[in-house]
Structure 1
């Protein structure tokens, strides 16, 4: 049976400690290796930021692949990084690799994906800087103090939005929509606008935040009522 080395990566220390993301990668790689006729002889796990090129675990995996003439197997192409220079170094190692989500990927495709990802990251950085400069020209306070003020404004607006949503939520629950998923699906079906009102649809997370805000608001009103 052909040899393979598995490489797993998560982007935060928290994910590494909790196992979030790693378990899915582990299962995907081992099922893929078995299907392709590979035996995974070693595993390397990296807990890194996607922007960093220093990946000792990946380098160790590549060295072992070269020593044992093994195939490097990863779960997703983006686990190999989003930096063109980093991808180029990987290609120079001449280690063959397979990605579970794209087993037919070749070096040219990997270069292109990395180039597009790096371009998008730079565009996001540029747009963020331009937005901050525009906000500063409008007199918006930036920095910690400014964030605190904006946070309070956003929180107050979210509270007001939640109050307007209370009758709608009560109606949905009366109609039998009591789960978070059921409420989000019905809100989308009825075309109810979200808090940001920018075409965004309702999701379970946004509904959960809304219900939590309504619950906390109701508790606060009860506590503020004068006692007899």
Structure 2
């Protein structure tokens, strides 16, 4: 079975799941698609393995002993941006919002089809790899945007016209941050800490900057960007 990923070393997936049967099934399906796996049966073990092995992605169960999925996800986000897909038996909007707010890249509700889980893993890995390669090039290309990280210049393509955006430093930082992971939802707190680190601004200040950014994009023919996610924050593109 083809993995659908670019050629290279097999990605390593950390399966953080206390149900051994579910973990074995996920490992088997991942192996069929050319993915390596390592298993953690509790939250603390998951954090230890993440630190030592630096997996490419984490499949993270919400209800685990020693440290639950929310605690693990919060710590992973303090460490960096390793992609995380939450596995939850709680099909409730509050749990989905919790995962998005803390920084999950996707979530799957149990009982799930293992093949679908692997498909989601591959999709998130592709997005992460593209973002990493783009970051290395120092130019973010997310149509209709082209953002030069060295020149601090943002260009938007609208029809046959290219517009160089006249942005404040904060507006530029917000646009660049969202463009690094265009389908990920960033909470207001995340945008506040990464894009307005110098002051003691309130989270609602982010809304003001995003509103001004939207108006400038609308003047260039791009509407509805960034996209707001109620109760969570913003992302650049719709899923």
TM-score, normalized by length of structure 2?
0.27
Structure with the largest fraction of helix: 1
Point out the structure with max Rg over C-alpha: 1
